[in-house]
Structure 1
Amino acid sequence: MKAVILAAGQGERLEPITHTRPKPFIPILDKPLILDTIEQIRKYVSEVFVVISPSHKEYFEKNISGVTLIEQKEGKGTGAALKAVSSVINDDFILIYGDVFIGDKSVLKQFLSEKNAILGVEVKNPKDYGVLVMNNGNLSKIVEKPEIPPSNLINGGIYKFSPDIFAYLDKISLSERGELELTDAVTMLAKESQVKVIRYQGFWIDIGKPWNILDVNKWVLDNLPSSENFGKVEENVKIKGKVVIGDGVEIKSGTYIEGPVFIGEGSVIGPNSYLRPYTVLVKNNKVGNAVEIKESVIMEESKIPHLSYVGDSVIAEDVNFGAGTLIANLRFDENEVKVNIKGKKVGSGRKKLGAIIGGHVRTGINVTILPGVKIGAYARIYPGAVVNRDVGLGEFFRA
């Protein structure tokens, strides 16, 4: 059996993190999401195909191996992405969306004995997703984002198909968005063949918005089996709770760490740093004197050297904060923090949310960044600036 991972999306809703990396390379602790998916699915299949955008080909070739990359050169949407592999799939296969994370990977076993199947996930907010309508445990149809959902069971983005699905893809028309929607083909298939709904009640997340990066890493940290220490910890360091300290990490005197926390390999912490619960330092990070970090994901090579507060934020790779850079994560009115997503203000569902900062950003000294602000990759923030709006890709922002 083979597997197909759809990873051709541009990840616009995850900008500015996706200014410098494809969406499937969002880190889950120190491992990209797609590598975690491949590692799990390889237990059940002989070959893995990954459908990618031609614009991301170089990045995938550099950062992934042992799979066959297929470029989606025509059309838009999940249906067009799947059609890109039609010439290389001639047997039953498992299909996974590249931005989906599931906590209990053993559910994949249940797909093996089915000819056609779809993962049905129970959620509290079904109207935000494609909702499954069932009959005797089989799929009847998929209703996209209904105002009044017929159930709380949604499309979980994992399928098992026979090659027959390609014939149905040839029959569907473009959606209102101008895309070929795989779900239209699945609904058509369900009218003529049995599509088993495999129900799942465990942790599931579609990593589609920036704060979802915090959500998925928080779940993984909550489920750490135990603490690990492969680094060097100086005297007068206090560590509480589950903390993973990677190879080559150095934690200097006066540092206080409250787990769960993940500190990736090669990172240097302290002296006198404070890492609060749900902090993830992916790799080769620097957290220096009088720096406090809480519930944030800080990606490879980024440095917060001195006198900073970072709360409830996502910071991409190779970012450097000038001394005294502060991120606010709570509005004065304590209302939900909203974020601009593709030109619209979208509620995060979070009372506390800091900044979303793209790769290679630099801030000057004494910069203040307000809640929900996004800063595009390669931006420069002048010293003393109060960043009260989104900053574009490569923009120089003055107070």
Structure 2
Amino acid sequence: MQAVILAAGKSTRTYPLTINKPKVLLRVANKPVLEYNLDALNGLVDEVVLVLGFKKEMVMEYAKKYSERTGLKVKFAFQEEQLGTAHALLCAEKFIDSDFLVLMGDDIYHPRDLENLIENKYSVLARKEKNPQRFGIWITENSKVTGFQEKPEKPLSDIANCGAYCLGKEVFQEIKKLKKSPRGEYELNEAVAGYAEREDVKVCMLEGYWLSIGYPWDVLNANEFFLSKIKETRIEGQVEKNATLKGPVRIGKNTLVRNGAYIEGPVVIGENCAIGPNCFIRAFTTIGSSCRIGNAVEIKNSVIGDSTNVGHLSYVGDSVIGDKVNLGGGTITANLRHDGKNVKSIIKGEKIDTGRRKLGAVIGDAVHTGIHTSVYPGRKIWPEKTTLPGEIVKKDIV
């Protein structure tokens, strides 16, 4: 059995996190999104074909190291022009020998659900939704696919597509018949609906989890989900005697937690970090490797990238911070509106309700903030941008 992971697209909805890195390399609980799916496939399939495009060299370097470490065979196909999911899959056709799995690279799947797809031969993964208008919808009869609707105003079903499939080689014939959709792409779901006219394609209802990284704040949702699974403390670094660890905490090699630090798990901290003294790391926080968390810093429910420094007297709440960021002393990320309503954020020029009552900042790689910078809830800062001392960030800095 083979699997194809579609990971070629340049994700603009997750800017600024994906301006200079592909979405599949965004980290959740200190592990790239891609690694979750490779781990799920390892033991189920003999070979994985990665369809790559944007920043392909970064993914290839990571995947080769993963293959060397685990023994899972990995091959690469390239989509030079992003023309949709069906076109991306077509780029992998020459590598496919028989039946195969297809996964969306920016979603995270449970191994049990992938196993169910294989056991049911030709199949799609789905779950019921209360608001199916927001999703691609499978039209079914007797648990088999009979058609597909893309985010319909009047859905004929409440069975949402989860973006995972088990298909036969004949699906490539259906892809070659496709015409571009209204958004100018070749859509895989339309090809699968056509394929279902020649083969029985079963709908496998979700049993495990399906975590989709569609917006920057979805990194927080996924991070919280996986940290909630941690039940035991594991310390590979050094914790000074007057530091306090409460709840499950994981601390990487060569990391020093200084006196006065209070860490309230679940928390994950990478390798080669210096934490504290006298800081408060609150639940559902992930801190990458080679980070420095200064005196009197508070971090809550956030994801901090590698080689990032959070200067003394700073507060980071419900935020996603990239790699090699330096937050000057006294930087504050506000995470709550005065009226208590959901935080909104600008995505591709449109104001989006994040669905989160609390959301701080989303900060790209290599940003430097001046001392006493204050950031409004839901604001984003593009990579390598800076702020002045005392600056108030009311709008995205792009």
Relative to 1, partners in 2 of residues 1:277 and 1:125: Cα closer, same or farther, differing over 3 Å?
A: farther
Say if 2:383 is the partner of 1:384: no
Say if 2:357 is the partner of 1:351: yes
Moved over 4 A (4+): none
**Distance (whole Å) between structure 2 residues aligned to residue 275 and residue 157 of structure 1:** 35
Aligned to 1:271: 277
**Distance (whole Å) between structure 2 residues aligned to residue 173 and residue 150 of structure 1:** 23
From 225, 231, 241, the equivalent of 1:225 is 231
Aligned to 2:114: 108
Give the deviation of 1:116 after TM superposition.
1.4
Question: Within 5 A, what are the aligned runs for 1:153-192?
Answer: 153-192=159-198
Relative to 1, partners in 2 of residues 1:232 and 1:123: Cα closer, same or farther, differing over 3 Å?
A: farther
Calculate the aligned-residue CA RMSD, in Å.
1.3
Q: For residues 347-375 of structure 1, give each alpha carbon's deviation from its aligned partner in whole angstroms, at most 9, with x where no partner exists.
A: 00011100110000001111101001010
Q: For residues 375-394 of structure 1, give each alpha carbon's deviation from its aligned partner in whole angstroms, at most 9, with x where no partner exists.
A: 000101111110000111xx
Q: TM-score, normalised by structure 2?
A: 0.95
From 78, 83, 94, the equivalent of 1:76 is 83
- Whether the 8 Å contact between 1:4 and 1:96 is mirrored in structure 2 is yes
What amino acid sits opposite 1:305 in the alignment? Answer: G
Relative to 1, partners in 2 of residues 1:75 and 1:215: Cα closer, same or farther, differing over 3 Å?
A: closer
Structure 2: runs of 5 or more not aligned: 68-73
What amino acid sits opposite 2:86 in the alignment? Answer: G
Aligned to 1:366: 372
Q: TM-score, normalised by structure 1?
A: 0.95
Aligned to 1:337: 343
**Distance (whole Å) between structure 1 residues aligned to residue 84 and residue 277 of structure 2:** 49
Structure 1: runs of 5 or more not aligned: 393-399
Aligned to 2:63: 64
Q: For residues 81-137 of structure 1, give each alpha carbon's deviation from its aligned partner in whole angstroms, at most 9, with x where no partner exists.
A: 0010112213111111001113x3222211223331100123444321111221111
Aligned to 1:397: none
Bigger CA drift: 350-359 or 30-39? 30-39
**Distance (whole Å) between structure 1 residues aligned to residue 14 and residue 322 of structure 2:** 11
Q: For residues 221-255 of structure 1, give each alpha carbon's deviation from its aligned partner in whole angstroms, at most 9, with x where no partner exists.
A: 11113221111110211111111111111100001
From 285, 310, 313, the equivalent of 1:307 is 313
Aligned to 2:71: none
DSSP 3-state at the match of 2:311: strand
Aligned to 2:104: 97
Say if 2:145 is the partner of 1:146: no
- Whether the 8 Å contact between 1:316 and 1:359 is mirrored in structure 2 is yes
Give the deviation of 1:75 after TM superposition.
4.9
Aligned to 1:29: 29
- Whether the 8 Å contact between 2:9 and 2:82 is mirrored in structure 1 is no
Bigger CA drift: 264-273 or 57-66? 57-66
What amino acid sits opposite 2:88 in the alignment? Answer: A
**Distance (whole Å) between structure 1 residues aligned to residue 131 and residue 283 of structure 2:** 27
What amino acid sits opposite 2:30 in the alignment? Answer: D
Give the deviation of 1:43 after TM superposition.
1.0
